[in-house]
Structure 1
Amino acid sequence: MVGKPSKLKKNKPLLGNHQKCWIWGRNAVRETLFAGFWPMYELHLSDHLKSEEIEQLEQQAARSTIPVFISTDKELTQKCRASDHQGMIAKMAPFPYTSIELFNQQEITSPLFLILDRIQDPFNFGAIIRSAEIMGADGIFSGTHEQCEVTSLVCRTSAGAVNHVPLVQATDLVSLCRDWKQNGINIVGTAMQASEKLNDYNFQQPTAVIVGNEGTGISPELQAECTHLVRIPQQGKTESLNVAVSASILLYEASRQRNFS
């Protein structure tokens, strides 16, 4: 379809304002389109893309009645205010977080959950989501206070992984941890001075791992709910690891024990 996109009805909310409602980049747009999880209002493709790829994307979009528009690279850049779109941009609805009620309907034998305590940097948030999806986390739980939302930047940094792992917002992470403990799920946090090493913990048990804020770490209230505190062994002189790196190490160890032990 070539032409001017029609204006969205007022009852259709956007991911952000006109500039911030777009996701772009090949991986982010393709993963979101084919997953069919996050409502997409419009798909805009560059006329420089191969005709075979345009046809494939048009066919997929047609299955969800998403209008497709063919534009120049310059026009795509003007819409999303970024030149690294790789010939694909999409106008999005707000991200559809999974409700805690819907998530609780799933039957997970030995869960591996990830709790995010006030992660504020979208690059960190997206990288954590990407690692969690790759390493087999069953769900990511974040609070609603001082927590980065799923934005275009988060989607792009996650390479579209936001579409493949449940993301749940919880108003009270402390109460959530208490409920999980009553149901036999261990709560594991990290502390540099912890006596238990990361690889000493048995991740084959039902587990929820907490990673904390970039500046202040895990809040005292959540740390008090931990059944285990572990430390990531370090050899260098740098004081601490980036939170996205820490989350990746924790999730890798969990995946290693669960899949390769």
Structure 2
Amino acid sequence: MPDLDSFGPDDPVLVSPRYLAGPRLEQRPLAAAMVWSSLTKAGWATYTPDNQREPFLCASPCQLVRAARMPNATDGGWKTAVYEDALAAPWRTASWSAETPAELIADFHRALAEAHSLGALHSLTSPAAAVYLPLLNAGWSHMVDERGNQTFTSPDRLATVTGQRRPSHVSDVWSMNVAPDTTGRCRWSARFSKQVPNSLVAAFTTSLADTTSVYRAAGQLPKELGSYLVTEPAPPCAPGRSDAASPAPVRPPAGPGQSAARRL
């Protein structure tokens, strides 16, 4: 396979492992369209503030499940929350830093859309093994500390998944960290709170461990990690070479003190 230096910055490539590929959101207006594609196909509404070009919120028809882009957060990432009361604090959350590969977040939301459509959003029947078996099957190592917390480490030792045995009501059950000792676009983290069903976390870890290459422009890839990346020229029909148009946001009803979001 050719190394990263053999490509120009705009050359299309297929790269693995996908967890080191960076976010692939070179065209910001298309970011939410890709990450939330399964939600919008399921009839969820997106909302865009007057001063922005890209939707910042995607909500289920019942308004009790919301996915948000967090441009003003410290890491500028993504967050999805489930509410028992639309006006109360979220019952459970999943969050990702800005550099998380979009394909992984999209796969989580695909499972979320399916669970919501089947009325299984609150099902906690899947065992913890559903989360980590994809990692073990992909050759990740496994360690258990004296408190029973589990850590799974990728073969290149650049990614870890940690499961807390006895999380508090405010701590995360599952957390992921990729390339924490680097400063490039491949460094990212993910967090899943206590009540997130294992089946949804498993959708994310399955995508995390997937060895299928993802599409990137060569210039998006971290050269400092080039020795860990497997790259090849992307054929014209490679998935991801063309982006779908961003779906038009839906105008929410304006209430007291509210301004209606504009429709693109």
Q: TM-score range by the shorter chain?
A: under 0.3
Higher relative contact order structure (alpha carbons within 8 Å, sequence separation ≥ 6): 2
Could you state the TM-score of these two structures normalised by the residue count of structure 2?
0.26
Structure (1/2) with the larger strand percentage: 2
Could you state the TM-score of these two structures normalised by the residue count of structure 1?
0.26
